[in-house]
Amino acid sequence: MHTLEPHYTWRAYYQAESDEKSPFFGREYSEFYFTHAIYDHLIHPQWDDFGSETLFIKIIYADYARGVSIIEMLGEWNDCLFNDIMFFKRNVLEVLMKNGINKFILIGENIFNFHSSDDSYYEEWFDEIGEGWIVGLNFREHVKQEFFSDNLDEYIVFGGTLDDLDDWRSYTPLRLYFVIQNEVAHRLNP
């Protein structure tokens, strides 16, 4: 797992550690010292710790004028044992929302498992974004099924053409945003 690094070619567009509105403003990263692990597997030092024991993220893009943030994720999302959604909501999402972000693209291809608890934080997050939306991009099928089985897909848009964007890394951040925005608009207003 130590070879899985967050998408880095968009660093010319955005760097969370240089963004004063980011919860990770001022962070310094090493390319050589591995300080975090998921269970007994070291992870690449570019991933950001936000309080979870098994889930790490990287805000790879934020556009405050458009109200969008793209967040890449790694690990096991475990609300049941570790209440990951609470840490994610309080330590990351609320900071972004306070600065005008109300559209979230969560890239979940490196989420290996999901264990839910209840939907209260998801409902709260969804209610607080008003006219915004939350999209789950490229989540693994068994992970999406866990979200579906607990009706969390009421809050996060999954599936359809969102599962066909395996080449999202070849897009610019704005192009990816516009593609997803069009898909969400199409779903909401068929």
pLDDT band, residue 1 (cuts 50/70/90): low
Give a three-class secondary structure readout of 114-129: EECCCCHHHHHHHHHC
pLDDT for residue 38 is more than 70: yes
Average pLDDT over residues 38-61: 96
Other beta carbons within 10 angstroms of residue 60's beta carbon come to 23
Residue 1 resides in a domain: no
- The C-alpha atoms of residue 25 and residue 31 are separated, in whole angstroms, by 18
Residue ranges making up the domain that contains 86: 9-188
Candidates 167, 139, 148; CA nearest to 73 is 139
User: Residue 109's pLDDT is what?
Assistant: 95
pLDDT for residue 19 is more than 70: yes
Residue 169 resides in a domain: yes
Average pLDDT over residues 154-175: 94
- Determine the 3-state secondary structure of 15 from DSSP: coil
Contact 186, 27 (CB under 8 A): no
User: Residue 65's pLDDT is what?
Assistant: 98
Residue 68 resides in a domain: yes
Structural domain count of the chain: 1
pLDDT band, residue 154 (cuts 50/70/90): very high
Residue 44 resides in a domain: yes
Residue 3 resides in a domain: no
Could you tell me the two tokens for 187? 């779903």
Residue 31 resides in a domain: yes
Lowest-confidence pick of 32-41, 73-82, 172-181: 32-41
pLDDT for residue 17 is more than 90: yes
Residue 55 resides in a domain: yes
Residue 29 resides in a domain: yes
Q: Domain holding 125: CATH number?
A: 3.30.750.24
* pTM confidence score: 0.96
Residue-wise pLDDT for 126-151, tens only, equals 999 999 999 999 999 999 999 999 99
User: Residue 190's pLDDT is what?
Assistant: 66
